[in-house]
Chain A
Amino acid sequence: MHKKRLIFTLLFKDNSFYLSRNFRLQKIGNINWLSKNYNFSTIGSSIDELIILNVGVEQDLEEFIDAVNEISKHCFAPIALGGGIRSLKDAEYLFSNGADKIVINSILETDQRLVSDIISKYGSQSVIASIDYKVNDKKSEVPFIFNGKRAVDYLLKDYMHKIISMNVGEIYLNSIDRDGTGNGYDFDTVENLITDVEIPVILAGGAGNPNHLLEGLSKANIDAASTANLLNFVGDGLPKARNYLLEMDVPLADWRDDADV
């Protein structure tokens, strides 16, 4: 049976980790805060994947990678890195410094040639296409790039299918309206949107408790549920959430009986 995935997303900027609410960033703490509140040698074994996004406008990739290294030392799960990738060199730097996959967003609209170059070098399966969107007053769904700052002149559905046709490996759908609210995922938009998507779909934006994750992972065409809610899952929040999902018969990998190595 195909298994679903629980994903934790961290937002990094200026040597700190952030909580994002409707794409407004609130600083929570530095790497010491993170290590104290999220013990990655145990958290690592309760998530299927870790995504770390560099959300600073002024990018310091080295500083970002230092933080990634600190986390990945104890985390034996796949790690996807992204944020501000603007050249093949940026992508190469991330792949050679701990990225199993990369997450791209703005270049999907601004530089499709680069997307294609990354995919030919690293393969579709290494590229997650992140799409941020808002529902506007006219109830229409608008995709955004540049950290939610610039609207894309496409309807969300058309934009998503255009991106899928670029041969990306997965889609990461993030609702700006739900982002960081803890009110649950935006199923109104997503359910219709993804019925005929044939690549893996990661749902993001809004999960605030294990029930939200359960709702997300119970939907047929959703392959992974992500949370970036840095405050709601501190301590043993993620291990508890995973145990709950397993008890609710969500098809997730089960490592509960595995002995330490």
Chain B
Amino acid sequence: MKRIAVVNYGIGNLKSISNALSHLEQDFSFVESQENLSEYSHIILPGVGSYKVGMNLLRRKKFDSAILAEVNKGKPLLGICLGMQMLANRSSEDGETKGLALINAEVDIFSKNEVGGLKIPHVGFDTIRPISKTGIFAGFKDQVDFYFTHSYRVLCSNKSEIASESTYGIKYVSAFCKDNIIGTQFHPEKSQKNGLRLLKNFTNYC
């Protein structure tokens, strides 16, 4: 029985996720208390906004240790945007902040230099190139458009954990996957049919 927990730690817009999951007729709930996470088969960690605020809220509600425990049991976890970034070791947003360290990666801002005159934040639909068409990317084309809105991006230490790449002046990681730990820099819940497909894949194939 597949049941999705959408972690509600007090930040970000959850409406678009609930609209998307309802459209897909998925069984899901917003989980506000970490004790309840164990009742679910899949976890989505959404997020927009500041890394520091996000991590502080996760810690205050003890979601950090609860997520770690569930992931260690092999439960699939999907981090979206800030939710993806918080799975990394650290971010330099708003001063140094430690992340959940579920994946060996760092989060830093795009430098003006590397994006070569493009604007920061990076906003809008942009192309991703899945490395392998399995898991969340099952059934996708070589190049797919998803919605992004971010100034910071994830740098993976292990190339093998990169699930998709994109280019914004410079090549960067638009999704990673380390066993059951998945993160997307883009917002599948705001990415039209491709996003719906990805969310469906997450519950079906992960």
Which positions in A face B, CB cutoff 8 Å?
1-5, 44-45, 48, 69, 72-79, 95-101, 120-126, 169-170, 198-200, 223-224, 252-255, 258-261
Contact = CB atoms under 8 A, between A and B. Distances in A.
A1 B169 CA distance: 8
B193 A260 contact: yes
- Residue among B49, B167, B189 with max Cβ neighbours from chain A (10 Å): B49
Interface of B: 11-16, 19-20, 22-24, 48-50, 53, 94, 112, 118-127, 145, 147, 149-151, 167-168, 187, 189-197, 200
Contacts of B14: 96
B202 to A, nearest CB: 12
A130 B14 CA distance: 24
| Residue among A1, A78, A79, A258 with most chain B CB within 10 A | A78
A44 B16 CA distance: 13
A-B interface, 9 closest residue pairs, ranked by CB to CB distance from nearest: A253-B125, A253-B145, A98-B15, A261-B196, A125-B121, A258-B193, A78-B190, A122-B49, A123-B49
Q: Interface residues of A: mostly helix, strand, loop or mixed?
A: loop
Main SS at interface, chain B: mixed
Given A76-B190, A78-B187, A261-B193, A125 B48 contact: yes
Contacts of A259: 193
Contacts of A3: 124-127, 145
Contacts of A77: 147, 190, 192
A5 B123 CA distance: 9
Nearest to A258: B193
A118 to B, nearest CB: 10
A75 B19 CA distance: 8
Contacts of B53: 120-121
A252 B58 CA distance: 36
A79 B126 CA distance: 17
A261 B16 contact: no
Interface centre among B122, B124, B151 (most CB of A within 10 A): B124
A43 B121 CA distance: 26
Contact of A5 (B112, B125, B127, B193): B125
Contact of B149 (A73, A101, A223): A101
Contact of A122 (B15, B48, B121): B48
18 contacts: A3-B127, A73-B19, A74-B19, A75-B19, A76-B191, A76-B193, A76-B196, A78-B147, A79-B16, A121-B50, A123-B48, A124-B151, A126-B149, A170-B123, A199-B120, A258-B192, A261-B193, A261-B200
A120 B51 CA distance: 10
A255 B145 contact: yes
Contact of A255 (B12, B22, B194): B194
Contacts of B19: 72-76
B124 A224 contact: yes
Contacts of B20: 76
A253 B190 CA distance: 13
Nearest to A73: B19
Contacts of B192: 44-45, 76-77, 253, 255, 258
Contact of A76 (B16, B48, B126, B168): B16
B203 to A, nearest CB: 12
Contacts of B190: 76-79, 100
B13 A95 contact: yes
Given A76-B20, A122-B50, A2 B124 contact: yes
